[in-house]
Amino acid sequence: MVNKALLLGFLSVLILTSAVYGDITHQLPPEIRTLYRTLMQSENHDAKRAAAASLREIYEETRSEDVIDVIIDLMRFTYNHNNFSEQNQRMFYDDMIAMRLIEILEISKDPRVFPTLIRVVARRNHTQRTIDAAWKAIKAIDWSKENK
Amino acid sequence: MKVKGVMSVVWVMVFAISSISFANQIDPKATKFVPDDLVLRGGLKTLHDQYYASKSHQEQTIIVEMITKNTEPLRFDVLMDIVMFDLRGADRYGQSEFTSPVARLTALKEVAKTGNDKYAPAYLSIVKFDGSVQIRIEASRALGKFKNDDVVNMIINLVRFDLNHPNFREDNEKMFNDNRVLEALVQSMGEIGNPRFFPALLQIVSKRNHREETIQAAWRAMEKLEW
């Protein structure tokens, strides 16, 4: 009886989580989707670093808003370790990727990225170098693009 | 089996509560996180929206610090709105967990610098109703810049009725806190210097149902009255 209730509870949490967080992959162009999945799922740091570099190239060429959406999503769910420690190798490498993603946000100057950046500077679960990159990106925001 | 189920629910609750309190811990240096050279020529709407969207007190504190570095004149109204939000949302004891007390205090100090009398009624409401003693004290200090009759009348009422406890006891937390607020308000009365404050100040020094610090502040305020 209790097991059934627990199972039902677990399933409803899963359903709620997917409803809240959603899945942005189905809306993405194939090349961005591949990079997004690499950055989200790959265990290989070099692959992730290459994916971040490709994402930057795509953004510099196309100024695609999809790139920004993908980075906002990644920064929120994948590159946001609550118990961040520089001693943890995986977290440390992830932080290097996070910094590269933030540099793309800086190029965008898009006010939509502000909530993502403020989370980085306030929660301080990144290296100081990444936090400084986030402040640099905040300073670069072009507020004339803000929806009044 | 049932005990196990109950225990897991308890653990989930403990985890949820500890997560909330962890999220709301503020690093005392939070306001120092904002770079000194930051100047924001826009973005007030985004900052405002993000403040209310955020559940992290630390994030709220940093956002308020950023609003103070914004150059739009409307920033003072946004800051005052932040100060007043908790007042309106607080329970009957004035307590609310939604907004950061540090953020509110930073916002209030920035607005107080303007000396704009359109915020005087808000300061009076804070002194009377707010849950945070520190914020009430800051609002009391801010009132020292206003000399108009409406403010003077309201201050007299606060001193004679709202902050006056005939059976004052220092071991009563509410009375003690009210008296700390009163001390700041009495200092502002001295700065305003209106002789109409004299009866209220005399009441403080004669009835002696106050802390010694407040009584001394009342004597000093009396010396400053502009007869």
Q: Check if A143 contacts B (Cβ < 8 Å).
A: yes
Looking at every residue in chain B, the average pLDDT score rounds to: 86
B156 and B227 both lie in a single domain: yes
Does the pLDDT at position B37 exceed 70? yes
Nearest to A118 among B8, B45, B50 (CB): B50
Supply the pLDDT for residue B19: 45
CA B202 to chain centroid, in Å, comes to: 27
pLDDT at B10: 56
Instruction: Say whether pLDDT at B32 is over 80.
Output: no
| Domain residue extents for chain A | 24-145
Q: In the prediction, which pLDDT does B86 show? A: 76
Residue type at A60 in one-letter notation: E
Domain-embedded: residue B227:
yes
Say which of B1, B41, B62 has its CB closest to residue A122: B62
Per-position DSSP letters for B83-116, written without gaps between them: HHHHHHH--TTS--SSS-HHHHHHHHHHHHHH--
Q: With beta carbons under 8 A apart, name residues in chain B contacting A144.
A: 42
The mean pLDDT value for A29-37 works out to 94
Chain B residues whose beta carbon lies within 8 Å of the beta carbon of residue A1:
1
Q: What is the pLDDT of residue B7?
A: 57
> Is the per-residue pLDDT at B111 higher than 90?
yes
Q: What is the mean pLDDT of residues B22-48?
A: 75
Query: In this complex, is the C-beta atom of A26 within 8 Å of any C-beta atom belonging to chain B?
Result: no
Report residue B33's pLDDT band, with 50, 70 and 90 as the boundaries.
confident
pLDDT, tens digit, 9 for 90 and up, residues A111-129? 999 999 999 999 888 999 9
pLDDT tens string A47-84: 999 999 999 999 999 999 999 999 999 999 999 888 89
How many whole angstroms separate alpha carbon B40 and alpha carbon B111? 17
What is the dihedral angle through the alpha carbons of A84, A88, A93, A96, rounded to the nearest 10 degrees? 40
Distances (CA, A) of A87 to A103, A127, B206: 23, 11, 65
End-to-end Cα distance, chain A: 54
Q: The whole model's pTM is what?
A: 0.79
Over chain A, what HEC string results? CHHHHHHHHHHHHHHHHHHHHCCCHHHCCHHHHHHHHHHHHCCCHHHHHHHHHHHHHHHHHHCCHHHHHHHHHHHHHCCCCCCCCCCCHHHHHHHHHHHHHHHHHHHHCCHHHHHHHHHHHHHCCCCHHHHHHHHHHHHHCCHHHCCC
pLDDT single digits (tens) B188-211: 999 999 999 999 999 999 988 999
- pLDDT of residue B12 exceeding 70: no
Is residue B162 located within the same domain as residue B216? yes
Nearest-CB residue to A115 (from B30, B33, B50): B50
pLDDT digits (tens, 9 = 90+) for B119-164: 999 999 999 988 889 999 999 999 999 999 999 999 999 999 999 9
pLDDT value at residue B215: 96
Structure confidence at residue B36 as a pLDDT band (50, 70, 90): confident
DSSP secondary structure code for residue B161 in this structure: I
Q: How far is A105 from chain B (nearest CA, A)?
A: 16
| Residues B177 and B145 sit within 8 Å (Cβ to Cβ) | no
* Residue range B70-97: mean pLDDT, rounded: 79
d(CA A124, CA B21): 17
> Which residues neighbour B10 within 8 Å (Cβ) at sequence distance 6 or greater?
none
Co-location of B89 and B152 in the same domain? no
pLDDT of residue B138: 96
Does any domain span residue B123?
A: no
Q: Which among B2, B41, B59 has the least Cβ separation from residue A122?
A: B59
- Structurally, how many domains does chain B consist of? 2
The reply to whether B40 falls in a domain is yes
The nearest CA of chain B is from the CA of A111 a distance in Å of: 8
Confidence of residue B22 (pLDDT cuts 50, 70, 90): very low
pLDDT band at residue B18 using 50, 70 and 90 as cut-offs? very low
In a domain, B109, yes or no: yes
Quick one: pLDDT at residue A123? 87
Tell me whether residues B33 and A141 touch, CB distance under 8 A: no
Say if A6 is an interface residue toward chain B (CB within 8 Å). Answer: yes
**pLDDT value of residue B75:** 95
Look at residue A13 in the predicted model and tell me its pLDDT. 63
Q: Domain of B216?
A: 147-227
